[in-house]
């Protein structure tokens, strides 16, 4: 398996697209994970949301809309491939100022010229060390053999 580059995390201001169930606890509320090929550099909003990725995709992006989060809220993402942790692929960001109406983005990228192995990629997101969201997406070959089953879901 190619070695993905370290995960990146970003936050940007823009209202979430549509409120979704997401995560709710105390002063923090988010929508569910939105998978995308990239994010808008100015807003952080997902560009071209997808239900699965091709092996040639340069990055796998998990975008999360923040409905509300006080300054200092910490978001962390840990990645897995086919139920195996991807060591060194965790990233964390802290909301600087009120997080209302922003997106946080967690990205894993693959070196140029390499491809993603087909299979299931999962992100587990914690908010202030509490498990909040878990979502999986498939990387499928040209025939779509693995199946595109990306569905964000909250962890109860």
- pTM score of the predicted model: 0.80
* Domain range enclosing 63: 5-154
- The helix/strand/coil state of 98 is coil
How many domains, the chain? 1
CATH number of the domain that residue 32 is part of:
2.60.40
Chain mean pLDDT for the chain: 83
How do residues 76-98 score in pLDDT, each as one tens digit? 999 999 999 999 999 999 988 87
């Amino acid at each position: 398996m190619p070695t993905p580059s370290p995960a990146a995390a970003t936050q940007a201001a823009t209202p979430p697209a549509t409120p979704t169930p997401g995560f709710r606890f105390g002063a923090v509320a988010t929508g569910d994970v939105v998978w995308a090929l990239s994010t808008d550099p100015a807003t952080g909003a997902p560009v071209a949301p997808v239900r699965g990725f091709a092996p040639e995709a340069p990055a796998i992006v998990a975008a999360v809309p923040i409905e509300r989060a006080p300054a200092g809220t910490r978001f962390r993402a840990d990645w897995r491939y086919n139920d195996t942790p991807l060591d060194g692929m965790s990233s964390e960001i802290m909301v600087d100022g009120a997080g209302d109406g922003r997106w946080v983005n967690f990205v894993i990228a693959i070196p140029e010229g390499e491809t993603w192995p087909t299979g299931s990629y999962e992100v587990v997101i914690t908010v202030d060390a509490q498990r909040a969201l878990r979502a999986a997406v498939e990387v499928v070959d040209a025939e779509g053999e693995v199946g595109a089953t990306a569905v964000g879901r909250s962890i109860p």
